[in-house]
Structure 1
Amino acid sequence: MRAFVLDPSQCGSASLRLQKGRATPALGPRDVLVRVRAVSLNHRDLAIADGCQGYRAEHAVVPLSDSSGEVIELGKEVRGLRLGQRVVNTFFPDWTSQCATQENTRRTFGADSDGVASEFAVFNESALLPLPDGLSFEEAAALPCAGVTAWHALMEHGAVRPGEFVAVLGTGGVASMALQLAVAAGARVAVISGDDDKLCRAVHMGASYTINHHRMPQWQDGLMAWTDGRGVDQMVDVCGDTLPRSVAATRVGGKVSVVGDLASQGTLLDPRQVLERQVRLQGVNVGSRSMFQALLAALSVNRIKPVISDLFGFDETPAAYDALRRGRHVGKLVVAL
């Protein structure tokens, strides 16, 4: 089979090497062989390719964590899936329904073990979920990391309710799904971005209020004005360095979900901000299999489809990495096989 691997001696998209004739992994008794039909990229994949955040592997690893495809072979003890079934994989193969622990969030695809940038991939059956009929392979591949993260932030940690004020930073994969989920739940949503075209897209997706942070660097003031001085009920922060402003924009007793560190160089957050405003601050690192199941059900009922910015062919995977680094997309970048 064909697969991309990361050359540990290189960085960025230059580290991607296309291997041909790579052996298909053998199946264990509870394993499933999937013909991969689509994969998507996350900012984590840039960090892995760059060797950042302790991700640099000592051997050539197959990158990427998010995929969808068709079941083509079953281990002898697999009972919950069938041949030909359309499936999507979970981000954490060992985190099923319980709370997050060091043990069940230790292993991920595309970093600690081979990922999904290949024509075929093997998963334990517990790391796969059946696809609803309304989602294409490309749409499903956009969900394992970004979609589940947005669900965890807003529905599990946030428990968003109709009429609440929600603010979302950015328009990438997590942010665009958070916007769609919050709107479907009846919330009023503000989106902060530095690109007017992206903000226009956000309005078409249901945003009630937008702020260009280049014109309003202290965007927390805009959010306070939007909420008549009360502050938003929930904040989804994808950047890291913006955390002090996110807390300042949140109402007393509100919630801030920290879902990324895209621009973080180390943030100094005054604990008095959190204490005085009694803000519930929580880190959100994707989510469990059961959260993914709930997300898929919600997307089906509400007829929500993840936003796909650009679609690449498998041989164009390095170009997809470069596009992710440029950051001009809205939603997700997907590679179709």
Structure 2
Amino acid sequence: MRVYPSAAPDTIRAETGEASPPGPGEIGVRMRGASINFRDALVARGLFPVAEGLIPLSDGAGEVIAVGMGVTDHAVGDHVVSLFHPTWIDGAIDRARLTESPGGPRDGFACEFVTRPASHFTRAPANLDHAESATLPCAGLTAWRAVVTDGQVKPGATVLIQGTGGVSLFALQFARAAGATVIATSSSDEKLARLRALGADHVINYKRVEKWGEAVVALTNGRGADHVIEVGGPHTLPQSLIAARTGGHVAIIGAVGGFDIDVIPFAIVQAKRLRLQGVTVGSRRDQIDMVAAIEANTIRPVIDSRFPLARLPDALRHLQGGGHVGNICLDI
């Protein structure tokens, strides 16, 4: 599938081509699963600039079918999962390494076969199928970075998550595995019931509780949340800052609520000595650690729905509708 960005996903077309055999340091992968993220919808709508004819989708998983000379990390038959930042190996990231992401600006995984450097993949968790594994490179690793690598969430900490998207639900699962208490917000009572079933200790309907930041403070006996997983953007950030404890950690991840406001309540940030930290997914090292943790804790991603590759435009429309709970996947 290739994308010719416009205001609608109908400009995605199925095209035929051949993957080249792997050269030195490369592997050939039969793609079996992919997942869809908010960013993929931006690409399809032309809001994230990419070249016409790009193969979309940043996240994919599959089976190694060929190995080039010098490859030792992967063998034919291995199940592997892609990396969102394939040249970010470990430690701090250099901005120059943010330009190689699949699904924009590089070709992604809405296809049957790929030939890529072996270092652009890690092994997939043994307890997940291909589509489940494909939820990890963006949504899973973003949550892992926010909760574990950057947040260093400890047992007894309080973590606030927002909504029922893939990042938020992974954050819930990782926080619970770390022994934290989780507070979750949503505008839907039905979704709040799902969040409780998935392990949230407290839930808040932000449509009925306009000052939900104060509600979080009340639930924590006046202290506030130790960690806030902020995915809403400028519209939700002011309440997130109120919800955070003094000295708390706010992981700034996305802006699913829109970008039309661009003001940070500076006085609150300063007075509460908050640590605001942007999250741009994670490194190869992070992904290797996350895969091990998923296996050790038998964590399974929350899958909202699965579509065949030919129905990628329908899957994108489903994402844009906003009614999903968890990840939207493709079986390839």
Aligned to 1:67: 60
Tell whether the 8 Å contact from 2:33 to 2:329 is kept in structure 1 after alignment. Answer: yes
CA distance in 2, matches of 1:46, 1:26: 31
For residues 48 and 26 of structure 1, the distance between their equivalents in structure 2, rounded to whole angstroms, comes to 28
* Cα distance between partner residues in 1 of 2:51 and 2:306: 31
1-side partners of 2:249 and 2:311: how far apart?
A: 40
Question: SS where residue 105 of structure 1 aligns?
Answer: helix
What is the letter of the counterpart of residue 17 of structure 1? R
Q: Secondary structure at the match of 2:97?
A: coil
1:132-163 residue CA offsets vs partner (Å, 9 max, x unmatched): 32111111011100000000001011100111
State the 1:26 CA deviation: 4.5
CA distance in 2, matches of 1:198, 1:236: 18
Q: What's the counterpart of residue 157 of structure 1?
A: 150
Q: Distance in 2 between matches of 1:208 and 1:132?
A: 27
TM-superposed CA distance for 1:23, in Å, is 2.0
Question: Counterpart of 1:289?
Answer: 284
What is the CA deviation profile of residues 38-89 of structure 1, one whole-angstrom value per residue up to 9, with x for unaligned ones? 000000001111111xx22232100001011000111112121101111001
Aligned partner (choices 262, 267, 276) of residue 256 of structure 2 = 262
Q: How many residues align?
A: 330
Residue of structure 2 equivalent to 1:212:
205
**Structure 2 segments unaligned to the other structure (5+ residues):** none
Q: Is 2:64 the counterpart of 1:93?
A: no
- The question of whether the paired residues in 2 share the 8 Å contact of 1:40 and 1:142 is answered with yes
Which 5+ residue runs of structure 1 have no aligned equivalent? none
2:49 corresponds to which residue? Answer: 56
Write the letter of the residue equivalent to 1:243: L
Partner of 2:2: 5
Give the Cα separation in 1 of the matches to 2:93 and 2:317.
Answer: 32
TM-score of the aligned structures, taking structure 1 as reference length: 0.96
Deviation at 1:229, TM superposition (A): 1.2
- Give the structure-2-normalised TM-score: 0.97
Task: Tell me if structure 2 keeps the 8 A contact 1:151–1:181.
Answer: yes
Residue 20 of structure 2: aligned partner: 25
What is the letter of the counterpart of residue 12 of structure 1? Answer: A
1:153-209 per-position Cα deviation (integer Å, ceiling 9, x unaligned): 010111001111110011100000000111111111011111111111110111010
Select the residue among 310, 317, 326 that pairs with 1:331: 326
CA shift digits 1:245-270 (9 cap, x unpaired): 11111000110001111113223112
Q: Describe the superposition over 1:9-45 as per-residue Cα deviations: whole angstroms up to 9, x where unpaired.
A: x3321121111x3121353311111000000000000
Does the aligned pair in 2 maintain the 1:50–1:56 contact within 8 Å? no
Tell me the amino acid that sits aligned with residue 284 of structure 2.
R
Q: What SS does structure 1 have at the residue aligned with 2:98?
A: coil
Work out which of the residue numbers 264, 272, 296 in structure 1 matches 2:267.
272
Counterpart of 2:244 (choices 225, 231, 250) is 250
Q: What aligned pairs does 1:64-143 form with structure 2 within 5 A after superposition?
A: 64-143=57-136
Distance across 2 between alignment mates of 1:62 and 1:38: 15
Of 172, 178, 193, which residue of structure 2 is paired with 1:185? 178
Aligned equivalents of 2:261, 2:282: Cα separation in 1: 24
Q: In structure 1, what is the equivalent of residue 187 of structure 2?
A: 194
Provide the identity percentage: 37
Do 2:33 and 2:131's aligned partners in 1 also have CA atoms closer than 8 Å?
A: yes
Question: Structure 1 runs of 4+ off > 4 angstroms?
Answer: none
Pairwise CA RMSD: 1.1
Q: Secondary structure at the match of 1:103?
A: helix
